[in-house]
Amino acid sequence: MNELIKIGKHDISVKMYKGQRVVTFKDIDTVHERPEGTARKRFADNRERFIEGTDYFVVTPEMLENTEMSEKRTSGIDSVNPRGTAFITESGYLMLVKSFTDDLAWQVQRDLVSSYFNTKEIINTQLSPELQMLQGLLNQMVQKELADKERDRQIALAQETAEKAVHTTEQIKEEIVTPFENWREDVNAKVREIAIKAKIPFQSLFTDMYRELEMKAGCDLSTRQRNKRDRMIGNGSRKTDIDKETTKIAVIGDDKRLKQIFDDIVRRYAVKYVA
């Protein structure tokens, strides 16, 4: 039975080729909890950047068959694809997952490097002092690259957060400061924008705003509509003008105090849902 090593929540079998531990695309997808085929696609998209024999090996059935029995028994590789199976080395793995930047990816990379690929405790006794020194330097380089990537991720995250904060502040400032020049048209456009962002039906949103205005101002918009309609009828106004000028938004626009209160309501909704 092949030796298993637990990486995160998953176990992968130890596989050796040419004296070093290797992993398959399926291993990478499994431990990183990515959809099957993710690692293979990343590899294919950047194939020219990987060096065969350094970053990966392609093992065919013939090559596996010709492997010495003693080496085959310890390789952990029982079978390969008829067209050949790619086995990824530590350097190839680190290149392949450079774009994996979620929290799980960082922990998995650390676990794979320290618990799976890092076999210096096993092989150091077989190395000359010079090679042991080189092995140590390589391990330091790997750890430094991981630390640099974590630092870059934190910097990028901080910059993104700062940019979002600035953008939000500017939007809030715009919603609060920008005047409604063509009052009715601008208010209607802003309420429509809020309705879309908040996923609230346009008329329902207006109804809520009118109700809040009536509570704050202590008025009855329906009564004001009727009174204005009666006045316009008494003045002999045309029906089209009466219909246009007796809407609730038109009635609000007639009163400076109501207009200011409604402005504040609309801007508060805009800050909440649009900014």
Q: Which amino acid, 211?
A: R
Q: Check whether residue 126 and residue 148 sit in a common domain.
A: yes
What pLDDT digit, counting tens, does each position of 199-220 carry?
A: 999 999 999 999 999 999 999 9
Integer Cα distance of 108 and 103 in angstroms: 9
Q: Which residue would you say has higher pLDDT here, 93 or 102?
A: 93
Residue 209 and residue 193 share a domain: yes
Tokens 């949103």 correspond to 205
* Residue 149 included in any domain: yes
Write down the pLDDT at residue 102: 81
Q: Are 57 and 24 in contact (CB under 8 A)?
A: no
Q: Is the pLDDT of residue 132 over 90?
A: no
Residues 186 and 269 in one domain: yes
Q: Look at residue 108 and tell me if it is in a domain.
A: no
Q: Which residue has the tokens 């076999």?
A: 119
pLDDT for 145-176, tens place per residue? 767 777 777 777 777 766 666 565 565 555 55
Whether 111 is covered by a domain: the verdict is: no
Task: Tally the domains of the chain.
Answer: 3
Output the pLDDT for position 122.
Answer: 46
User: Residue 270 and residue 228: Cα distance in Å, rounded?
Assistant: 30
Under 8 Å between Cβ of 20 and 89? yes
One-letter amino acid at 120 equals K
Task: Say whether both 159 and 194 belong to one domain.
Answer: no
> Full-prediction pTM beyond 0.75?
no
Domain match, 186 and 169 both = no
Look at residue 110 and tell me if it is in a domain: no
Task: Give the structural domain span for 171.
Answer: 119-177
Whole-angstrom Cα distance, residue 32 to residue 146? 16
Neighbours of 243 (CB within 10 A): 13
In a domain, 127, yes or no: yes
For residue 240, what pLDDT is reported? 92
Residue 191 shares a structural domain with residue 253: yes
Same domain, yes or no: 196 and 172? no
263 and 207 in a single domain? The answer is yes
If asked whether residues 155 and 185 sit together in one domain, one would say: no
Residues 136 and 211 placed together within one structural domain of the fold: no
Question: Does 112 reside within a domain?
Answer: no
Sign of the CA dihedral 91, 92, 97, 103? Answer: negative
Task: Note the pLDDT of residue 177.
Answer: 47
- Return the HEC string of the chain: CCCEEEECCEEEECEEECCEEEECHHHHHHHCCCCCCHHHHHHHHCHHHCCECCCEEEECHHHHHCCCHHHHHHHCCCCCCCCCEEEECHHHHHHHCCCCCCHHHHHHHHHHHHHHHCCHHHHHHHCCHHHHHHHHHHHHHHHHHHHHHHHHHHHHHHHHHHHHHHHHHHHHHHHHHCCCCCHHHHHHHHHHHHHHHHCCCHHHHHHHHHHHHHHHHCCCHHHHHHHHHHHHHHCCCCHHHHHHHCCHHHHHHHCHHHHHHHHHHHHHHHHHHCC
| Domain membership flag for residue 219 | yes
Looking at the fold, whether 86 and 161 belong to one and the same domain comes out as no
Note whether 158 and 187 are same-domain residues. no
Q: What is the pLDDT of residues 62-97, one digit of tens each?
A: 887 776 654 555 577 888 888 899 999 999 999 988
* Domain assignment present for 114: no
